[in-house]
């Protein structure tokens, strides 16, 4: 992760990793969404309840985060199942 991304995350996430504010600027939102996408294992599908539970650990508005992840192609949704389709992948 580059320094600019780390700075964005430190501005929006508390020391315990919770998101205190969802960014309104799209570029900053993408940095946060990329971080959240890391919580989902590539190649695995998730029920909506699992996605909600994971996102709730970061912010109470898990529905908005889920929608942003799908709209920005970090997660794909089909027939009630979700899977990671974007974001930074560890090498």
Q: Quick check: is 11 in a domain?
A: yes
Q: Provide the residue range defining the domain that includes 54.
A: 3-84
Residue 89's pLDDT is 82
Residue 49's pLDDT is 98
Q: Quick check: is 78 in a domain?
A: yes
8 Å CB contact between 23 and 32: yes
Q: Quick check: is 90 in a domain?
A: no
Residue 91's pLDDT is 59
Q: Quick check: is 89 in a domain?
A: no
Q: Quick check: is 58 in a domain?
A: yes
Q: What is the mean pLDDT of the chain?
A: 95
Q: Please enumerate in sequence order all residues whose Cβ is within 8 A of that of 88, keeping only pairs 6 or more positions apart, or say none.
A: 1, 34, 37, 38
| Cα of 11 vs its chain's centroid, Å | 16
Give the residue ranges of the chain where pLDDT is below 50.
Answer: none
Assign residue 51 the CATH number of its domain: 1.10.10
Taking every pair of Cα atoms in the chain, the longest distance, rounded to a whole number of angstroms, is 38
Q: Quick check: is 26 in a domain?
A: yes
Structurally, the chain folds into a number of domains equal to 1
């Amino acid at each position: 992760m580059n320094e600019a991304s780390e700075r964005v995350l430190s501005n929006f996430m508390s020391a315990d990793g919770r998101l205190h504010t969802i960014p309104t600027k799209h570029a900053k939102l993408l940095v946060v969404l990329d971080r959240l996408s890391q919580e989902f294992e590539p190649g695995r599908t998730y029920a909506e309840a699992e996605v909600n539970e994971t996102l709730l650990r970061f912010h109470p508005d898990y529905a908005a985060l889920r929608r942003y992840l799908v709209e920005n192609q970090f997660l794909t949704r089909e027939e009630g199942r979700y899977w990671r389709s974007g974001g930074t992948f560890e090498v």
